[in-house]
Amino acid sequence: MQLGLRLARILTLAIGFAGVSLPASAQVTPYGSGVNPAGSLELTAGSPWIGTSFQLSVRNTAVANPLPGQAFLYLASQPAPGFPAGLVLPGLGLGALGSSGELLLDVLPPNPFLTLGPTLYPGGTSSAANFSLSVPSNPALVGADIFAQGLLLTDNQGLLLGLTNALQITLGAPTAPIPGVTPIPGLAIIQPGTFQMGSNAVGGPPYFSGLEDKPVHPVTISRPFWMGTTEVTQAQFQALMGSNPSEFIGPDRPVERASWFDARAYCNTLMARQSALGSVPPGYQYRLPTEAEWEYACRAGTTTEFNVGSALFCDQARFRYSYHSLSECTGLQLGTVPVGSYPANAWGLYDMHGNVWEWCLDSYSSYPAGAVADPFVTGGPSRVFRGGAWRNESYECRSASRNADGPGLAGNIGIGFRVVLAPILIP
DSSP 94-118: SSSTT-EEEE-B--STT-S-EEEEE
189, β-bridge pairs: 226
350 & 406 share domain: yes
Report the pLDDT value the prediction gives residue 198, as an integer from 0 to 100: 96
For the whole model, what pTM was predicted? 0.65
d(CA 61, CA 64): 7
Rounded distance between C-alpha atoms, residue 218 and residue 199, angstroms? 12
Give exposure, 239-270, as e/b (b: 16+ Cβ within 10 Å).
eebeebbbebeeeebbbbbbbbebbbebbeeb
Per-residue pLDDT of the chain (427 residues; tens, 9 = 90+): 344 444 544 444 333 332 223 334 567 888 776 788 888 898 877 778 776 778 888 888 777 777 788 889 988 887 876 655 577 877 777 765 567 888 888 777 767 678 888 888 887 766 788 898 877 766 677 788 888 999 888 765 445 678 888 998 888 766 555 555 678 889 988 988 889 999 999 889 999 999 999 999 999 998 889 999 999 999 999 999 999 999 999 999 999 999 999 999 999 999 999 999 888 888 899 999 999 999 999 999 888 999 999 999 999 999 999 999 998 997 666 899 999 999 999 888 999 999 999 999 999 999 999 999 999 999 999 999 999 999 999 999 999 999 999 999 998 999 999 999 999 998 8
Whether 143 and 192 share a structural domain: no
Point out the domain boundary residue: 136, 170, 204: 170
CA-closest candidate to residue 74, choices 2, 164, 144: 164
| Cβ neighbour number for residue 165 with a 10 Å cutoff | 24
Whether 176 is in a domain gets the answer no
On whether both 18 and 157 belong to a single domain, the answer is yes
The reply to whether 334 falls in a domain is yes
Give the number of other CB atoms < 10 A from CB of residue 386. Answer: 24
**pLDDT score for 294:** 98
Q: CB–CB of 71/151 below 8 Å? A: yes
**Is residue 110 domain-shared with residue 252, that is, in the same domain?**
no
SS3 332: coil
Structural domains in the chain (count) = 2
* CATH code for the domain of 266: 3.90.1580.10
Go through the chain and tell me how many residues it has: 427
Domain boundary among the residues 141, 170, 199 is at 170
Quote the domain boundaries for residue 114.
3-170
Helix (H) or strand (E) run with residue 403 in it: strand 402-405
> How high is the pLDDT of residue 139?
65
Question: Nearest-CA neighbor of 402 among 360, 350, 340?
Answer: 360
For β-strands 27-31 and 100-103, DSSP reports them as: unpaired
Please tell me whether residues 279 and 405 are part of one structural domain.
yes
Are 166 and 198 contained in the same domain?
no
Helix axes 234-241, 260-276, angle to 10 degrees: 70
